[in-house]
């Protein structure tokens, strides 16, 4: 849950000493491009918390060469319901034992670290930036099918075209799931889940507020044993249909609409495809979201609503029907720059919720969280 405000100016005029410089045509293009890119830049989310929203646009590339970045420290407390995810950061998100395969998950109290960072190096003359850190959009919905990822990437600005962002992502947080979630009245063993993949963004498409995002992640589970409990009587093929490894594809479009200097609206639509090895666990469908951002002086408020509607195309061998799920969530976060006169620091606090409602109660899930944190920006 991070906030950074960065105004960018590019293409400084050059000239002879003692005489007023006139910008060259190329320099004018870069200056105009930078002015169009000026914005309140990214508000990164805390590690694995749906505790805040964030602006979806890629950060404006600064005109100053060298190192820059930010980090956020804080804590979040709340509650979680999940029959599939065991823990994150060694914090339990679900019960080790379940008494029925027909019941929704029990509620678990959680306390998680509110951590995020980015370190970047800018090549100002080339309008290029290399970076390592967390991306806000990976966790806007606290997707329990993916993990917090660290991105290593490059941003490239092209006047009149936009800012391109290419990155390689790999999971960074310790996330465990149940080896076999369907064991009843006995402790379920856990195993680690990891992910890695590619993320691409195109922001400010042809000098408009339009943004395109695409990502592909490969999810791996160290010891996948779904459905192997002998009491279920599943064949090996039916057991494989419950496997949770595979690919997750996501494509989305957003449009940033500046209503005035204080208000901004960012609607978005997209498509999510869990192309998993287990056909009964694979699902896909559309999603929609809208973000509202209010900025005044040192205050900023970011709110968000989102909705997913995913359906599976194969029958679940345990329940004898296809699984579908509707997800509704929202969040509101307040940012206050330089509290108590602390330069480069931004205080932040937020509340959020996420509710996944499946036609099969066992797959229901929810997450509610309140967070506080402090962000430090350096350049």
Locate tokens 């956020």: which residue? 72
**Which pLDDT tens digit goes with each residue over 64-110?**
999 999 999 999 999 999 999 999 888 899 999 999 999 999 999 99
Is 150 in contact with 71 (CB distance < 8 Å)? no
pLDDT score of 128 more than 50: yes
Query: Residue 22: is its pLDDT beyond 60?
Result: no
User: Using an 8 Å Cβ cutoff, are 57 and 203 in contact?
Assistant: yes
Q: Output the pLDDT for position 17.
A: 40
Give the angle subtended at the CA of 137 by the CAs of 53 and 4, to the nearest 5°: 60
pTM: 0.83
Residue 232 pLDDT class (50, 70, 90 cuts): very high
Model confidence at 148, pLDDT cuts 50, 70, 90, reads: confident
Q: Does position 215 have pLDDT exceeding 80, yes or no?
A: yes
Does position 270 have pLDDT exceeding 80, yes or no?
Answer: yes
Superfamily of domain 5-13+23-378: monomeric porin ompg (2.40.160.40)
- Note whether 192 and 178 are within 8 A (CB): no
Per-residue pLDDT for 194 more than 50?
yes
- Between CA 170 and CA 254 the distance in angstroms is 24
Give the mean pLDDT of 151-168: 97
Does residue 51 carry a pLDDT above 80? no
| Bridging pattern class, strands 321-337 and 299-316 | antiparallel
- What is each CA distance from 231 to 96, 99, 185, 226, 318, in whole angstroms? 18, 14, 12, 13, 11
For residues 82 and 16, the answer to whether their CB atoms sit within 8 Å is no
Q: What is the mean pLDDT of the chain?
A: 85
Torsion sign, CA atoms 312, 273, 116, 151 = positive
- What pLDDT shows up at residue 91? 87
pLDDT at 35 over 90: no
Q: 154 or 7: which carries more pLDDT confidence?
A: 154
Residues 6+ away with beta carbon under 8 Å from 104 = 81, 83, 361, 362, 364
Tell me the per-residue pLDDT of 317-336, one tens digit each, with 9 for 90 and over: 999 999 999 999 999 999 99
Closest CA to 372 of 136, 40, 137, 46: 46
| Residue ranges covered by each domain of the chain | 5-13+23-378
Res. 11: pLDDT tops 90: no
* Pairwise pLDDT comparison (287 vs 21), residue with the higher score: 287
Contacts of 133 (CB under 8 A, 6+ apart): 44, 69, 116, 117, 118, 119, 120, 150, 151
């Amino acid at each position: 849950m991070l906030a950074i405000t960065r105004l960018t100016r590019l293409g400084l005029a050059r000239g002879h000493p003692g005489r007023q410089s006139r910008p060259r045509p190329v320099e004018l293009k870069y200056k105009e491009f930078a002015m169009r890119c000026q914005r309140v830049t990214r508000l990164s989310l805390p590690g694995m918390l749906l505790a805040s929203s964030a602006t979806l646009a890629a950060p404006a590339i600064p005109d100053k060469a060298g190192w820059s970045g930010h980090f956020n420290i804080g804590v979040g407390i709340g509650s979680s319901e999940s029959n599939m995810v065991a823990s994150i950061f060694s914090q339990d998100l679900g019960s080790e034992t379940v008494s029925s395969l027909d019941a929704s998950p029990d509620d678990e109290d959680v306390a998680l670290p509110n951590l995020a960072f980015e370190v970047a190096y800018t090549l100002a003359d080339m309008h290029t930036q290399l970076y390592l850190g967390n991306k806000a959009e990976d966790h806007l919905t606290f997707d329990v099918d993916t993990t917090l990822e660290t991105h290593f990437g490059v941003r490239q600005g092209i006047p009149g075209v936009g800012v391109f962002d290419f990155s390689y992502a790999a999971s960074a947080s310790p996330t465990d799931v149940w080896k076999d979630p369907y064991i009843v009245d006995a402790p379920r063993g856990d195993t680690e889940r990891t992910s890695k993949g590619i993320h691409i963004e195109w922001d400010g498409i042809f000098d408009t507020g339009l943004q395109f995002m695409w990502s592909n992640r490969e999810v791996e589970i160290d010891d996948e044993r779904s459905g192997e409990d002998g009491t279920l009587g599943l064949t090996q093929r039916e057991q494989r249909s419950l496997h949770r490894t595979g690919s997750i594809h996501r494509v989305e479009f957003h449009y940033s609409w500046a209503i005035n200097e204080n208000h901004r609206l960012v609607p978005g639509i997209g498509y999510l495809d869990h192309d998993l090895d287990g056909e009964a666990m694979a699902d896909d469908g559309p999603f929609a979201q809208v973000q509202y951002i209010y900025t005044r002086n040192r205050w900023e408020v970011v709110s968000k609503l989102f909705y997913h509607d995913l359906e599976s195309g194969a029958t679940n061998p345990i329940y004898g029907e296809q699984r579908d799920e509707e997800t509704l969530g929202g969040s509101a976060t307040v940012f206050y720059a330089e509290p108590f006169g602390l330069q480069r620091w931004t205080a932040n606090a937020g509340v959020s919720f996420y509710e996944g409602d499946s036609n099969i109660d066992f797959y229901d899930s929810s997450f509610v969280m309140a967070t506080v944190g402090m962000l430090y920006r350096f350049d």
